[in-house]
Chain A
């Protein structure tokens, strides 16, 4: 376990290969919920919680269930079931804590289940921290940390996008592109600018 690896994970997950702006995962909620900062941050928190917990649980499942019983081909479906269960749990909690927030999220809360970012980071952990069906040293800690960082990267993209959209709400944009079309175009330019991080080599 060395610090450079943690630093690399942090910088990669949050900036270089940002889950939304470079890997293009989790876009549905990104375009739909990023209109105002408060709900955007709430969604980011929910997503981060799910990514962290699913990173932990999927790691255990892979390490102690799928590998020993040679069921690694069941990876996708078992991971998705884990994530689905967790999102159901988060949904129950939010419904209890803050019904207005629950109603605001609407369909996008259960859709965290199919948020490509969440499944994506679980699969990424396996690809990066297991070789030949064996866990590399420190694999668990790297996986959890990557879960945290992917959540942070998601939050960063949401923060930037919601700041931009809130500002544009005060402007006189052409009627045809108000809201969604402009959001897509902004996302397009943001991801164009993140191309600058391609080909990184530490």
Chain B
């Protein structure tokens, strides 16, 4: 019986939208990526997606019952969290992994803050890093694409990190999703279709995703290695800053197309609740994400840094919001 009467200060804007509608629109925009993922990795991927979604819904339902808040599982946000979490998982994981991930994502990533609108961190990513820290073995075992026997293979970024060479990966392969990776992140084409839909309908703005992707591309161009075929060489002969100046030849297209960057930039770094309100703040957010992602990819211990980057910038969002406040009408 808590949130019946909402009193807020004018001006009030009336739009045809509700939170529910937006959430379900995002879900719809993600369907092509899911279909592609299941097609590329097989039926197991479908189970992961279903388990993720159902666990998220049930967890939210139970917690809202227990804390005597309005049960809102039909507003699409829990569905979306479960879906996004599943998209961030490898296709061949034990059945309990997406379940525990969704439970953690909804419980700790969202409900403990008081529910939708109050969470600081992107719930799906909270679930993902929890799983990554808890069961790294399962979270880093990927399967070969278009091979329904589920033979393991490495992702392009992982191969790059270890200095190995993947001969048969071309940029085209990356674009269509013919590579190892997480269920919803591989098919760039499908993801871009969904993102286009959201752009056209005005549900997301370009500031964060374009800034994010641009910074990653720029940074990896300047500091990255020639291409995926020649692993990053740290020149130990040169000392100091000179080491970093041998760049301007990085394979930026490879970096943009691989890993979870497209999925993260368009669908997770654009989440209204956990990202800054103003355009200036959003650009800062996008730049921060891009910088951290690129740095982790190039020099960190992990092959991919998108989830960590977005979560770190989520933490910085309240501060960014405070210092990029719009001028209140009538004041100096």
| Chain A contact residues, CB within 8 Å of chain B | 2-4, 7, 159-160, 163-164, 166-168, 171-174, 177, 182, 185-186, 189-190, 192-202
Contacts and interface: CB of A to CB of B under 8 A. Distances in A.
Interface residues of B, number: 41
Given A3-B241, A173-B114, A196-B302, A167 B129 contact: no
A192 B312 contact: no
Given A164-B120, A193-B308, A197-B296, 7 more contacts: A3-B241, A173-B114, A190-B312, A192-B129, A192-B130, A196-B305, A196-B312
Interface string B171-182: 000000000000
Contacts of B120: 164, 167-168, 186, 189
B18 interface: no
B118 A171 contact: yes
Given A4-B240, A159-B319, A189-B108, A198 B301 contact: yes
**At the interface, is chain A mostly helix, strand, loop or mixed?**
helix
Nearest to B69: A174
Contacts of A197: 296, 300, 308
**At the interface, is chain B mostly helix, strand, loop or mixed?**
helix
A190 B315 CA distance: 7
Contacts of A3: 240-241
B299 A193 contact: no
A184 B318 CA distance: 18
B300 A200 contact: yes
A164 to B, nearest CB: 5
Contacts of B111: 174
Interface in B286-305: 292, 296, 299-302, 305
A79 B114 CA distance: 44
A3 B307 CA distance: 31
A44 to B, nearest CB: 14
Nearest to A159: B319
Contact of B318 (A4, A163, A199): A163
Interface string B98-129: 00000000001101111001101100001001
Given A3-B240, A173-B113, A189-B311, A196 B296 contact: yes
9 closest A-B pairs (Cβ-Cβ)?
Answer: A199-B301, A196-B308, A193-B311, A163-B318, A163-B319, A4-B240, A167-B318, A171-B118, A173-B114
A159 B243 CA distance: 33
B114 A195 contact: no
13 contacts: A4-B241, A163-B322, A164-B315, A167-B120, A171-B114, A172-B2, A172-B3, A189-B108, A189-B120, A192-B311, A194-B308, A197-B296, A198-B300
Contacts of A166: 318
A2 B240 contact: yes
Given A4-B239, A167-B318, A171-B113, A189 B126 contact: yes
Contacts of B1: none
Contacts of B300: 196-200
Contacts of B312: 190, 193-194, 196
Contacts of B302: 196, 198-199
Given A167-B120, A173-B113, A185-B112, A192 B315 contact: no
A94 B26 CA distance: 53
B309 interface: yes
Contacts of A200: 299-301
Contact of A195 (B67, B117, B133): B133
Contacts of A168: 113, 118, 120
A121 B85 CA distance: 38
A164 B311 CA distance: 13
